[in-house]
Amino acid sequence: MRKINEKIPAFIKEYIREAERKGTIFKDKITLENIETIKEHFVKTQNDIPNFLKMCDYNPDLDNLIIVGDIHGDLKSFKKAIRPFLDGKVEGIIFLGDYVDRGPQSLECLLLVASLSISWPRKIIPLRGNHEDIENNARYGFKDDLRKRFLHKEFFNRAIEEIDQIYNYFSLAVLTNQRSLCVHGGIPKGMDNFQMLNKIPKPHFKLATKFKDEERGIRQKLHEFMEQIRWNDPIENRTKEFSPSFRGFDFYKFNMEALEHVLEKNNAKRLIRAHESSRGGYEKMFEGKLIHIFSAEPYYGQVRKASVLQEKGKDTSILRDLDFKKIKKF
């Protein structure tokens, strides 16, 4: 197994080692102290990592990595997805978000991705999805799961506070060394330069207090960008660059013309995103300029075969299943 950073606490090292073993990990044994420990170290690790991370500046030698889509509390899928990294077949992982909700082991998945990032911060890059949000968790199951685990109201409230802290330190976008722009959902309306994301402070909730009253408009616009990058979706055959989304008044669907403009502005060749199980485990759109992946299987009858995307070298991309078997090369 890949060597674990010896400077991290024993619980986190053991938690990562459990990920290599069969069966569940720490089922019903995660304590409030465990969550607090992981949160504390995750915050220290992520605090100086920008919301928009350019791999050419951050880790220019990371040329063999996998990109993982939604996990949604499916620990079995999660453990399969990270196996190539733990076995040394790839040197890094970009997670596109949505570690929690709907699945039975959301807490385990969230803490595992945080633990991996704590131990290998320059190789494990986790992004924030739309489900890394306490309000969403109240509707899609994670909050109910936490209530069952922490029966005492005070412990439950403290667990929620710690988890919300973790959410607010995830980054929002990555540009890989192959110039793939990675996000959870899509491109925001009105933001063509992704460097704007680095104006958003960490933790993200400081966005509400970071600016003076006269800068309220800037603050609101940045908040909209942060939300849309986690919620927006692509759509084919639309003449308007952005059109209203069924997801809500503040969210949009974007067409190929809108994407091409953003790719050019950010010196990127394609967008890689997750977010929609209805598209299955993989879909190529916009003449290959957008790739959708989803990494939990089976998923409510919509994803029978999940996938991850490997970027290797300067221009090789390989779509793989969760057992790291090649599906196609392009």
Instruction: Give the CATH number, domain containing residue 309.
Output: 3.60.21.10
Asked whether residue 77 is assigned to any structural domain, the reply reads yes
As given in the structure block, the two tokens for residue 170 are 């995830």
> Distance between CA atoms of 246 and 248, rounded to whole angstroms?
6
> Distance between CA atoms of 218 and 108, rounded to whole angstroms?
36
As given in the structure block, the two tokens for residue 293 are 């992946």
Q: Please give the residue range of the domain that contains residue 65.
A: 10-329
Asked whether residue 2 is assigned to any structural domain, the reply reads no
As given in the structure block, the two tokens for residue 25 are 């990990």
> What is the model's pLDDT at position 25?
62
Query: Coil, helix or strand for 152?
Result: coil
Q: Do the beta carbons of residue 113 and residue 69 sit within 8 Å?
A: no
Domain count, the chain: 1
Q: Do the beta carbons of residue 20 and residue 101 sit within 8 Å?
A: no
What is the pTM (predicted TM-score) of this model?
0.95
Alpha helices in the chain (DSSP H): 10-18, 32-46, 55-58, 75-86, 106-119, 134-140, 142-149, 153-167, 216-231, 256-265
The set of residues, in sequence order, having a beta carbon less than 8 Å from that of 269 and lying 6+ positions away, is: 178, 179, 180, 263, 289
Asked whether residue 63 is assigned to any structural domain, the reply reads yes
As given in the structure block, the two tokens for residue 241 are 């660059």
Q: Which helix (H) or strand (E) holds 308?
A: strand 308-312
Asked whether residue 168 is assigned to any structural domain, the reply reads yes
Q: Do the beta carbons of residue 142 and residue 100 sit within 8 Å?
A: yes
As given in the structure block, the two tokens for residue 328 are 């196609």
∠ CA(293), CA(72), CA(77), 5° rounding? 70
Q: Which residues of the chain have pLDDT under 50?
A: none
Asked whether residue 57 is assigned to any structural domain, the reply reads yes
> Distance between CA atoms of 265 and 254, rounded to whole angstroms?
16
Q: Do the beta carbons of residue 15 and residue 25 sit within 8 Å?
A: yes
Radius of gyration of the chain (CA): 19
- Is the link from the previous residue into 298 a cis peptide, with omega within 30 of 0? yes
- Burial bucket for residue 175 (CB in 10 Å: 0-12, 13-18, 19+): buried
Asked whether residue 147 is assigned to any structural domain, the reply reads yes
Query: Coil, helix or strand for 282?
Result: strand
**Roughly how many angstroms between the first and final C-alpha of the chain, as a whole number?**
30
Asked whether residue 167 is assigned to any structural domain, the reply reads yes
Nearest Cα residue to 170 out of 207, 115, 132, 223: 132
Considering only the C-alpha atoms of the chain, give the largest distance between any 2 of them, rounded to a whole number of Å: 55
Asked whether residue 3 is assigned to any structural domain, the reply reads no
As given in the structure block, the two tokens for residue 120 are 């290998």
As given in the structure block, the two tokens for residue 179 are 């110039």
